[in-house]
Structure 1
Amino acid sequence: MKAIVQEEYGAAGVLGLADVPPPQPREGLTTVELRAAALNWHDVLVRQGQYSSPLPHTPGADGAGVDLSTGEEVVILPSLWWGDDDSAPGPDWEILGDHRPGTYAELVQVPKECVAPKPRGLSWTEAAALPLVGLTTYRALVSRAGLKSGESLLVLGAGGGVATAAVSLAVSIGARVWVTSSNESKIARARAAGARGGVRYLDPGWPEAARDLVGGRGFDVVLDPVGDWAASIRALRPGGRLAVLGASRAEQATLDSRPYYFGQYSLLGTTMGSPRDFSGLLRLMDQGASPPVIDRVYPLEQAAQAHTRMESGEAFGKIVLEI
């Protein structure tokens, strides 16, 4: 079968198309014939070697295709062996494409519990773009932060996959959503997708500017996928919740203890979710939540160019490989 393979860690150019053996049948696993695979920033980190993936390696966590054991059109849950405790993943948990071959291929093998029917009305590219960021965002907003209809949400970093998914899911819940971005064009695109507005985070006073958007009191929930915890807390109302799930801007955060506990804030760490979270996400999609925003589609053999696009910071929404 054809697959994208990296023989070494490094820049996007290490990704190349190759012929590799197809997966062999194994108890408890099923093989999916992929139609599309979506990129995530996680894939860039895998490519760079930050997860010590075995070489040679095929990256990719997101995919959609046909389950060869049933003939059903499915999406893949990339959160493998989560376990029975929904509060946190178990000791065997891993992300597809970290230590086993991922979805940048014609075929991928996953646990049987990690396939679900493709949501009605989604194209192959939209379905492939849904699982990782959709599940991560659903868990952050619904399972962890408990976002409710009528509440206010601020999403950091408009344009990324998590941010675009957060706008869509929050609007479908009935929340009021604002965003931050480095430029006005991405704020405008977020507004077109359902956000009510936003602020530019290049201004050091952006948390106070964001608070002004909701009458000065602050937001019920802030979703931070970039690691800017101290500034994010400044945008919260007293008693607000901060859900954090990434560190693209900062690996460490320093918080002032006294304002934090007097503010009665909740700091909620979160990652991808469980199969039960995934079922909740798929129910929202079937109830009419907007499909994932697609930035650009590339053929499988152009995975390196797709990674270059992702790293440019110019994309708005998901980048997808068509297989």
Structure 2
Amino acid sequence: MFAVYAAEPQPESPLDALRVGERPDPEVPDGWVSVSVRAASLNMHDLWTLRGVGIKAEQFPMILGCDGAGVLADGSEVVLHGVIGDTSHGDETFDPKRSLLTEKYQGTFADKVAVPARNVLPKPRSLSFGEAACMGTAWLTAYRMLFTRSGLRPGQTMLVQGASGGVSTALVSLGKAAGMRVWVTGRTEEKRALAVSLGADEAFESGARLPERVDAVFETVGKATWGHSMKSLKPGGAIVVSGATSGPDAGADLQRLFFMQIRVIGSMMGNRDELADLLAFCDLKGLRPTIGSELPMTEAKTGFEQMLAGETAGKIVFTR
């Protein structure tokens, strides 16, 4: 079958590991299903896989793609949940042996993908395959950060660091729909304008002094924005962290942390129930992900180049 895959780990030049070609059809164990992929979205996790982060060398070649949407053998249209773990923990994201597609199991940038039967959910008719393909990673991550982890209430003020990535644009849309006052930062006027068009109440230059302190900051950037995030919070406020694209070695500023009683909360993806709730919420509110670029999978390298260069304005989606 056709697939977009990582041939080997390339820590310094990840795109050198990218291949577009033929791979074997997936094996489908008992309790699993095969999904014919119609669309899948690109995530930073795919670049980490190309670099060899979170995957052992002997697991290459690895088909890329953490999420997607497609069709079952009976014609049912489905959205994929990319976290595979033991549900005896109550929440599969807390399973210490959990895995994402592309870490242990082959991913979605292919004609077909095999996943556990519980990892497919009905696709709302209101979402296209391309839109639904954005739900399982970026939007699910944003949903968990906001609704499960942050403790925010409608009417409070949230700051999203970085205005144009997949998780950031999802946070803006979800926060606005939930009744938050949404502020964002962005490096360029174009990216700030995108956030405002999605419903952000205010957009500021990166590192700018804010008119007042906020109740929570949503962090996916890391080192480049951490100091600003800490200084932007009210006493007792929270930083919810789900990534560190600019590097993880941020200065902790422990004195401010304890003096202001700031809460630092980690968040990773989301569970199946949260994905079901997210799909229902988007259907109810008429929310749609922002797709900045939609490309056939045969042109996957172009999408990876855009992400590597930071030329994102929403999600990059690959279609079959």
Q: Is 1:102 aligned to 2:99, yes or no? A: no
Normalised by the size of structure 1, how large is the TM-score? 0.92
Q: Deviations 1:100-136 (Å, cap 9, x if unpaired)?
A: 1100100000111111111231111111112101111
Structure-1 residue corresponding to 2:42 = 39
Distance (Å, rounded) in 2 between the aligned partners of 1:242 and 1:15: 35
Instruction: Map residues 163-242 of structure 1 onto 2, 5 A cutoff.
Output: 163-201=168-206, 203=207, 206=208, 209-210=209-210, 212=211, 216=212, 218-227=213-222, 228-242=225-239
| Structure 1: stretches of 5+ with no match in the other structure | none
Q: Deviations 1:273-321 (Å, cap 9, x if unpaired)?
A: 1112212212211211521100111111111111001111121000011
Return closer, same or farther for 1:86/1:25 CA change in 2, 3 Å cut-off.
closer
| RMSD (CA atoms) | 1.6
Structure-2 residue corresponding to 1:78 = 82
| Structure 2: stretches of 5+ with no match in the other structure | none
Q: 2:62 aligns with which of 37, 47, 57?
A: 57
Percentage of matched positions with identical amino acids: 36
Q: Deviations 1:185-226 (Å, cap 9, x if unpaired)?
A: 11111101100122111x5xx2xx22x1xxx2x111110111
Instruction: Map residues 1-323 of structure 1 onto 2, 5 A cutoff.
Output: 1-10=1-10, 11-53=14-56, 54-68=59-73, 70-81=74-85, 83=87, 84-86=89-91, 89-201=94-206, 203=207, 206=208, 209-210=209-210, 212=211, 216=212, 218-227=213-222, 228-323=225-320
Deviates further, 280-289 or 176-185:
280-289
Distance (Å, rounded) in 2 between the aligned partners of 1:30 and 1:311: 33
Deviates further, 238-247 or 49-58:
49-58
Distance (Å, rounded) in 2 between the aligned partners of 1:243 and 1:133: 15
Q: Which amino acid aligns with 2:82?
A: P
Q: Which amino acid aligns with 2:26?
A: P
Return closer, same or farther for 1:48/1:135 CA change in 2, 3 Å cut-off.
same
Is the 1:12–1:305 contact (alpha carbons within 8 Å) kept by the matching residues of 2? no
Q: Which amino acid aligns with 1:14?
A: A
Is the 1:39–1:60 contact (alpha carbons within 8 Å) kept by the matching residues of 2? yes
